[in-house]
Structures are given as C-alpha cells and as structure tokens.
C-alpha cells in the first residue's frame, strides 16, 4: 500500500522569508500524481500544486514550487516570500494511476507565519 510521510509536524517562518516543507512517499507504481493541499482555519481543502510523476520538470505556481525527486521518492514544497495568508496546515498527497486510485494523505505540517 502507498504511504505518505511528512516528518515536520510544525514549521514556522518569518514573513517574506522562504520555507520548505518535506514529504516522502512509498510506492511501487511508476505513474502517479503528487499534490500539496492547504487547509486554513476555515478547514476548506485547497489545492496548492500538482506534479505528474512522468514529468521531470518541477511544478511551480507563483510563489509555490516543488522539488520532486522520483528516485528518492521525495516531494518537498517551497514557499517563497511567505505571507500571513499562507498560515495553514499543509498536506502532501499521493494518487496512483492503477488500483484504487484513491488519494493518500500525509499527516500534515502546521505552518505558522511570524510577522
């Protein structure tokens, strides 16, 4: 079964600085999606960024970018120029192309932005 591990329960960063959230996963599949979702206090799950495993180029979305290392099964999220609105729980998630195709989440990292 696929598993996703986020080893940092909490992180904090100064406003305008850069922070990196870590994620590792375990799978035997070769094709899959990886995601970072954000959950602010409103509890709405919001997609931050998506990476297809067959793409070598790292995905970017404005201030958000990933470092995808397929061989190492690592998928970190970098947030540049952190803003107060970035404060939230961040979940790394995996979805395979085969089998159950369900979305498997990590435990989450709570990010605090210090003004």
Partner 1 sequence: DAGVIQSPRHEVTEMGQEVTLRCKPISGHNSLFWYRQTMMRGLELLIYFNNNVPIDDSGMPEDRFSAKMPNASFSTLKIQPSEPRDSAVYFCASSLGLATGELFFGEGSRLTVL
Q: Which residues bind partner 1 (CB under 8 A)?
A: 33, 35, 42-45, 47, 50, 52, 91, 95, 97, 100-108
Q: Which of 93/113 has CB closer to partner 1?
A: 93
The Cα 55–Cα 111 span in angstroms is 28
Q: Which of 19/94 has CB closer to partner 1?
A: 94
Smallest gap, in angstroms, from Cβ of residue 44 to partner 1? 6
Q: Which of 68/82 has CB closer to partner 1?
A: 68
Smallest gap, in angstroms, from Cβ of residue 25 to partner 1? 14
Smallest gap, in angstroms, from Cβ of residue 43 to partner 1? 5
Smallest gap, in angstroms, from Cβ of residue 17 to partner 1? 27
Q: Which of 101/114 has CB closer to partner 1?
A: 101
Q: Which residue has the tokens 């952190």?
A: 82
The Cα 20–Cα 74 span in angstroms is 12
The Cα 58–Cα 68 span in angstroms is 6
Region of residue 72 (phi > 0: left; psi between -120 and 50: alpha; otherwise: beta): alpha
**Residue 105: beta bridge partners?**
93
The Cα 41–Cα 80 span in angstroms is 21
């Amino acid at each position: 079964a696929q598993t996703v591990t986020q080893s940092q329960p909490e992180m904090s960063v100064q406003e305008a600085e850069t922070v990196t959230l870590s994620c590792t996963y375990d799978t035997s599949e070769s094709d899959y999606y990886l995601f970072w979702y954000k959950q602010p206090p409103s509890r709405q799950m919001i997609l931050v960024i998506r990476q297809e495993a067959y793409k070598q180029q790292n995905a970017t979305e404005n201030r958000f970018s990933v470092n995808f290392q397929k061989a190492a099964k690592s998928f970190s999220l970098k947030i540049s120029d952190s803003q107060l609105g970035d404060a939230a729980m961040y979940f790394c998630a995996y979805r395979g192309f085969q089998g159950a195709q369900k979305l498997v989440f990590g435990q989450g990292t709570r990010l605090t932005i210090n003004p």
